[in-house]
Amino acid sequence: MTVTIDKKLFIATFGCQMNDRDTEIMAQLLSRSYARTLELAEADAVIVNTCSIRAKAEQKAFSLLGVLRKYKKKKPEMIIAATGCVAQQDGRKMISRMNHIDLVIGPQNIYQLPLLFDKIRKTRKTTVATDISPSFSIPPFLPTMDCGLPHKRFVTIMQGCNNFCTYCIVPYVRGRELSRSQEDIVAEVRHLVSHGVKEITLLGQNVNSYGNDQEESQRTSFAELLCSVAEIRGVERLRFTTSNPKDLSDDLIRCFVDLDNLCSHFHLPVQSGSNSILRRMNRKYTIETYLDKVEKLKEVRPDIALTTDIIVGFPGETDEDFQATMDLLEKVRYHGSFSFIYSSRPPAKSCEFEDTISQEEKKERLAIYQAHQKEITMERNLEYVGQTMEIMVEGESRNAEGQWSGRISTHHIVNFTCAKPLVPGRMLMVHIDEACYNSLRGTLVDG
């Protein structure tokens, strides 16, 4: 019997890779009744997967939800659902603010989506599902291959965070750390590679503390997990994100010696170069211990590309504190960084800290940081020129036929020309000829 799927689902995703992965899961859960669409106008159901990490992200989600009001007016049977971190945080308040929303679902509750959609269709009663249960465990969930890039996939290894960095809302909206079992993760990776996936990225808010919530007798460390995934035949490239430097162990550093398929890239968010700010952020490491770990990583993998996250304008950040961040940038010479102006996110603790720096000053600091990072990124990219490197093919350019892109192990994009069709995920050698700020340009090496 063939089932015709006549309804259309539009999903807008804001925020991090955890949300990207949740979006894939939701699309798959609803795929028996809904096909994905990129056109809001033809959607029968809309999911807005929200992010609340900074005020701007939250505003963007609310502004899209606002726009949906007129679509719902035209098509009253349209289902509108809000998911993600804002949904978790605001719950029913979202519906009081915007009464055209039918469903508010927290990240732990997305697995009930088909049931909740059915209920809405039958009763048209607004529903809020945002319970965080201490006994929740992430269900084993094997992805189908019909969404996203088939040659690379994210695999969630844990949810939540226990760190309570004082600026961060994540522990309040994503709950406590919850690790999936090693067996479930390995089974998912095996399933993916058997369907042709070549690159796996292990995903969690703080992957370095993987396993800390498991019973001692069954506990697996992140380094052990990484080794067991790296061993699976067919995993050609392995990556992970994100890490808190305080939990970066020597065993994990050792993985960069032992595991050939572990990529030469480490995203290690430092947030600030000043010890006094780090203390008030509750980051639980000092710049000295951070630099020590960076040195060890560079020692065992000289070609490693380091990237980071920076917050400027944390409450009370002095000129000296900011200068310490600039000094750190100069010392580590990050290949790239994501940098943000501090955003007050109640109930995160730093909201109570006295903030004396003007928004103008914060913007200026951000511009100074970003300008210097840009120079360093360019210098770093130029270091690749003249080298012959292995790329994994990503795909053909949408705008120009015969123009392809791939990524080297460090995650840099390399653009190149190839008249023949290529399969994404294929490994090829390229000679790097040119460097730009955002990408490299190369020539395929024959053979």
Residue 336 interacting with ligand 5AD (CB under 6 A)? no
Tokens linked to 383: 């270091």
Tokens linked to 102: 């039918």
Tokens linked to 322: 């900011």
Residue 273 interacting with ligand SF4 (CB under 6 A)? no
Partner interacting with residue 163 (select from ligand SF4, ligand 5AD, none; CB below 5-8 Å by kind): ligand SF4
47-66: contacts with ligand SF4 (CB under 6 A): none
Span of 62-70, 188-196, 287-295, 337-345 interacting with ligand 5AD by CB under 6 A: 337-345
Instruction: Tell me how far CA of residue 127 lies from CA of 5, 88, 107, 208, 226, in angstroms.
Output: 25, 13, 15, 36, 39
Name 267's Cβ contacts closer than 8 Å, sequence gap at least 6: 241, 242, 243, 306, 307, 308, 309
Residue 101 interacting with ligand SF4 (CB under 6 A)? no
Cα separation, 92 vs 94, whole angstroms: 5
Span of 5-13, 22-30, 132-140, 342-350 interacting with ligand 5AD by CB under 6 A: 342-350
Cα separation, 157 vs 85, whole angstroms: 18
- The two most distant CA atoms of the chain are separated, in Å, by 70
CB of 246 to ligand SF4, least distance (A): 9
Cα separation, 282 vs 182, whole angstroms: 30
SS (H, E, C) 363-378: HHHHHHHHHHHHHHHH
Residues paired with 144 in a beta bridge: none
Tell me the HSE value of 260 on the side-chain side, using a 13 A CA sphere: 6
Partner interacting with residue 309 (select from ligand SF4, ligand 5AD, none; CB below 5-8 Å by kind): ligand 5AD
Element housing 414 (H / E): strand 413-417
CB of 232 to ligand SF4, least distance (A): 28
Tokens linked to 207: 């992957």
Name 358's Cβ contacts closer than 8 Å, sequence gap at least 6: none
> Of residues 167, 256, 285, 369, which one binds ligand 5AD by CB under 6 A?
167
> Of residues 84, 106, 171, 175, which one binds ligand SF4 by CB under 6 A?
171
Residue 369 interacting with ligand 5AD (CB under 6 A)? no
93-112: contacts with ligand 5AD (CB under 6 A): none
Q: How many residues bind ligand SF4 (CB under 6 A)?
A: 10
Kindly tell me which of 143 and 211 has the beta carbon lying closer to ligand SF4: 211
> Of residues 210, 342, 369, 416, which one binds ligand 5AD by CB under 6 A?
342
Tokens linked to 182: 């090693």
β-strand pairing of 427-435 with 388-396: antiparallel
For residues 296 to 315, the per-residue mask of contacts with ligand SF4, x marking binding by CB under 6 A and - elsewhere, is --------------------
- The DSSP symbol for 355 reads -
Cα separation, 227 vs 154, whole angstroms: 17
Partner interacting with residue 345 (select from ligand SF4, ligand 5AD, none; CB below 5-8 Å by kind): ligand 5AD
253-312: contacts with ligand 5AD (CB under 6 A): 269, 271, 309, 311
Partner interacting with residue 206 (select from ligand SF4, ligand 5AD, none; CB below 5-8 Å by kind): ligand SF4
Cα separation, 269 vs 205, whole angstroms: 11
Partner interacting with residue 311 (select from ligand SF4, ligand 5AD, none; CB below 5-8 Å by kind): ligand 5AD
Partner interacting with residue 225 (select from ligand SF4, ligand 5AD, none; CB below 5-8 Å by kind): none
35-74: contacts with ligand 5AD (CB under 6 A): 53-54
Kindly tell me which of 244 and 307 has the beta carbon lying closer to ligand SF4: 244
Residue 328 interacting with ligand 5AD (CB under 6 A)? no
Residue 206 interacting with ligand SF4 (CB under 6 A)? yes
- Provide φ and ψ at 106, rounded to 5°: -80, 160
Partner interacting with residue 26 (select from ligand SF4, ligand 5AD, none; CB below 5-8 Å by kind): none
Q: Is the peptide bond before 421 cis (omega within 30 degrees of 0)?
A: no
Kindly tell me which of 110 and 168 has the beta carbon lying closer to ligand 5AD: 168
Residue 81: strand, helix, or coil: strand
Q: In what order do the strands lie in the sheet with 152-156?
A: 152-156, 199-203, 237-241
Sign of CA dihedral 434, 435, 441, 446: positive
Kindly tell me which of 311 and 440 has the beta carbon lying closer to ligand 5AD: 311
Kindly tell me which of 308 and 405 has the beta carbon lying closer to ligand SF4: 308
- Provide φ and ψ at 202, rounded to 5°: -80, 135
Kindly tell me which of 163 and 350 has the beta carbon lying closer to ligand SF4: 163
- Which residues are near ligand 5AD by CB under 6 A? 53-54, 167-168, 269, 271, 309, 311, 340, 342-343, 345
- Which residues are near ligand SF4 by CB under 6 A? 161, 163-165, 168, 170-171, 205-206, 244
